[in-house]
Amino acid sequence: MEYQLITEQHTLDQFVEAISNAQVLAIDTEFMRRRTLYPEIALLQVFDGKHLALIDPLTELDFSSLWQLLKNPNILKVLHSPSEDIEVFQNFAGFVPQPLFDTQFALQLLGSGNCVGFAAMVNMRLGIEIDKSESRTNWLQRPLRDSQLEYAAADVAHLLPCFMQIVEEINAKGWFDIVIAESQLISQKRAYQTPDEFLYRDVKGAWQLNPRDLAALRELSVWRRQKAQRKNLALNFIVKEANMVEIAKRRPSSLNSMRNIPGIDPMEVNRSGKEMLACIERAKEISEEQLPEKVLRLMDFRGYKQAAKEIKQKITAVSKETGIPVDVFASKKQINQLISWNWKLTAEERPAMFAPDILQPWRAEYLQKSLEKWVPLHDA
């Protein structure tokens, strides 16, 4: 296949001019995520059906003209399973290309199953076997090998003809707007950040802790995220989540006592021990009235299983009416989101939180009437 590797400004400008009248662009990114909190972009692939470019973001390029093109609402951007690509764009470009069409979600909508991989889609749609040997390569290393470049080019070269087949079937069912809305939802969720005061509730094992321990966990959770963002380190490279729970539970008063906690990595204590002790001290100063309430699991609520069953039955009924697969409307996790929103959050807390997927466009339009008992749409 023909492609060009772009490392110079004039070549990028020529490419942008060549694709400026495109109606559809196939896009992909290659990135690395080793110890970092944010993905490190290593390559950007763009294909309009005639011109295919592999753009090197590690060179000194002005991307403003390309970004304007990717922001153009009249050009459809096609990606496959774009969740991580969305994060790449948010951190590298400062925006997410819109409108965005996710071929993986479209396949799920058409009944092909959940999370169809790119290679499986290409084989199913085009009868082509893709060599995935470069999928785990070091994309940040320069120069890139020919095999890497060919692999990266194939991602968008095959994506476009697959899209052409898929979008025809999606349009025949009148579901194009659903695919676009789902991609927008993914972008919004990727951009959302849980407020500091609620962060500890998402920590696995928080339900085991009493209110005083939770106060320590709350301080530790906020500190960990802030440090991870400041250092651009993955959260578990600051301190592992399970260890954070143990530290909150035992509330050590010295570095030596922290080192004696089973499972604690000595390097965690050496790097961040003093900061974690400071979190514990701040938590000790919190009055009894200001302590967080005990965290409950959904299974701790009476009637949870019956509620989940009832919601699933109502969604199944809507699925039969519309032809939209049940698992597209809601997974078990998404049903649990709705119940948690209704049972775990107060009316005052909800505005600060990201509403459950079931209450977001497009699902709310189909499900609001059936599920109004659980959470009225105006709470979203």
Q: Which strands sit side by side in the sheet containing 100-102, from one edge to the other?
A: 4-6, 52-55, 40-47, 24-32, 76-79, 100-102
Distances (CA, A) of 323 to 132, 240, 317, 369: 34, 43, 10, 17
| Active-site annotation holder among 3, 48, 56, 85 | 85
| Active-site annotation holder among 30, 102, 219, 357 | 30
Please give the angle made by the CA atoms of 168, 84 and 160, to the nearest 5 degrees: 25
Give me the residue label for tokens 């965005």. 100
| Active-site annotation holder among 56, 155, 182, 268 | 155
| Active-site annotation holder among 3, 28, 56, 357 | 28
The structure tokens listed for 378 are: 């105006």
Give me the residue label for tokens 């495109």. 22
Alpha helices in the chain (DSSP H): 9-18, 64-71, 83-92, 103-109, 118-126, 146-173, 176-191, 211-231, 235-238, 241-250, 255-259, 266-284, 304-322, 326-329, 332-343, 363-371
Please indicate whether residue 30 is annotated as part of the active site.
yes
Alpha helices in 176-265 (DSSP H): 176-191, 211-231, 235-238, 241-250, 255-259
Distances (CA, A) of 178 to 100, 168, 209, 298, 380: 11, 14, 41, 30, 18
How many CA atoms lie less than 13 Å away from 65 in the CB half-sphere? Answer: 14
Q: What is the DSSP string of 284-336?
A: HTS-GGGSPPPP--GGGSTTHHHHHHHHHHHHHHHHHHH---HHHH--HHHHH
Contact 54, 22 (CB under 8 A): no
Please indicate whether residue 85 is annotated as part of the active site.
yes
The structure tokens listed for 302 are: 């009476």
Contact 319, 329 (CB under 8 A): yes
| Active-site annotation holder among 87, 102, 151, 182 | 151
Backbone angles phi, psi at 347, to 5 degrees: -60, -30
The DSSP call for residue 134 is: T
Helix (H, G, I), strand (E, B) or coil at 175: coil
Residues with active-site annotation: 28, 30, 85, 151, 155
